[in-house]
Structure 1
């Protein structure tokens, strides 16, 4: 089965941060951009976040629009996309909102974390080991076998870095907010890694548009710039 089309979605400050280091989540998007993200979720077969994002934000990770959910059902799809997370350790609390809202859930882990996670999430999620370590290629192969054609990845930075550095991302939606965080302890969109083509390879910019005071940049990382 073919692997899913992988779309990385993030909102950052001008200086590339996903959040600050305070206890409260920093809202980078505006209402119009949140609605855009809801549309992208509705168009996806699965939505993925990492364990760090789950612990930090405790999100429900839903399609919020009733109209968009109804359109999914009319098209023969589940009301909500499959919700996916990744945890190498398996240290995920069963009380997180992620497990108790929306439709089907799936957790990828390692051989070490699998037994622990299956015990914690019994009846809440399907648990799959990708081997001794998290293998994102095997993860995508498994999602493809489950019929997932379009995967939306919503973070965090470690997850975005893994997909992009391993050449597994097909598209990036980067919403840049007019804020500067400047906090070295805060999480960033991308971490240090060896990325395909190195620092001189220019990705293809497919779209740039303003959404209120936010700028959306849409990149196709597997294609080079034709500028």
Structure 2
């Protein structure tokens, strides 16, 4: 189903936006090999599963979806049962953002639990309806991808907590637009060192510039990984 009408701009709060990433010590999300580089360990994957269980929606950019073909599920049966007991769907909504509309109907996330929603631009709506059909609701934000409109629409749909799992372009856009409320970075003891590999954040005009320090919420080891939690909107020179 497509919805190309104007997205509501008021009346529902935007979701709390949590960016989540696992990175190498030198800041990469992956290497350039054909298989996904596993940066986290089993304990950290379980932590991510717990975070997923506590949100209303999980968002990925189309490049990350095509590259990793994730299912975006809550793996723990106990956590899924707890969601249902709280009156929530068993799985969070799955949200994909694409400017090109290049999403194949065979991708895993269309065919497992949770509602599916795709944000795109006017020029890609027809392609998406032709390729994914009724597998997801398709919403255009207009001639260009409009992140505030994306968040407004998610709020309109009842999303109060949004987990953004990548990729780097999406993280960079949200951080540079000052739309991220919290950042989780799991730093793995690996060095990638490949210039063409995807990075967590790219060059951008970030709020406050290089002297603005984000507030550290938490730092803790999880096995050989270190979790860093920051509040990017709380900055001080």
Q: Is residue 205–residue 225 contact of structure 1 (8 Å, CA) maintained in 2?
A: no
Q: Residue by residue, what CA displacement relative to the aligned partner does 1:118-160 show, whole Å, maximum 9, x if unpaired?
A: 2222121000001111111000000000000000000000000
Counterpart in the other structure of 1:53: 64
1:119 & 1:186 partners in 2: Cα distance?
32
Counterpart in the other structure of 1:168: 179
2:81 & 2:155 partners in 1: Cα distance?
24
Counterpart in the other structure of 1:193: 204
Unaligned runs of 5+ in 2: 1-11
2:114 & 2:226 partners in 1: Cα distance?
31
> How many residues of Structure 1 are paired with residues of Structure 2 in the alignment?
226
Q: Of the candidates 19, 30, 35, which is equivalent to residue 8 of structure 1? A: 19
Counterpart in the other structure of 1:132: 143
Q: Is residue 208–residue 235 contact of structure 2 (8 Å, CA) maintained in 1?
A: no
Please provide the CA RMSD for this pair.
Answer: 0.9
1:39 & 1:13 partners in 2: Cα distance?
22
Is 1:17 aligned to residue 17 of structure 2? Answer: no
Q: Is residue 11–residue 29 contact of structure 1 (8 Å, CA) maintained in 2?
A: yes
Counterpart in the other structure of 2:47: 36
- Scaled by the length of structure 1, the TM-score of the pair is 0.98
2:20 is paired with a residue whose SS is strand
Deviation at 1:116, TM superposition (A): 1.1
Counterpart in the other structure of 2:4: none
Q: Is residue 178–residue 213 contact of structure 1 (8 Å, CA) maintained in 2?
A: yes
1:34 & 1:91 partners in 2: Cα distance?
28
Q: Residue by residue, what CA displacement relative to the aligned partner does 1:95-128 show, whole Å, maximum 9, x if unpaired?
A: 0001101110000000000111122221210000
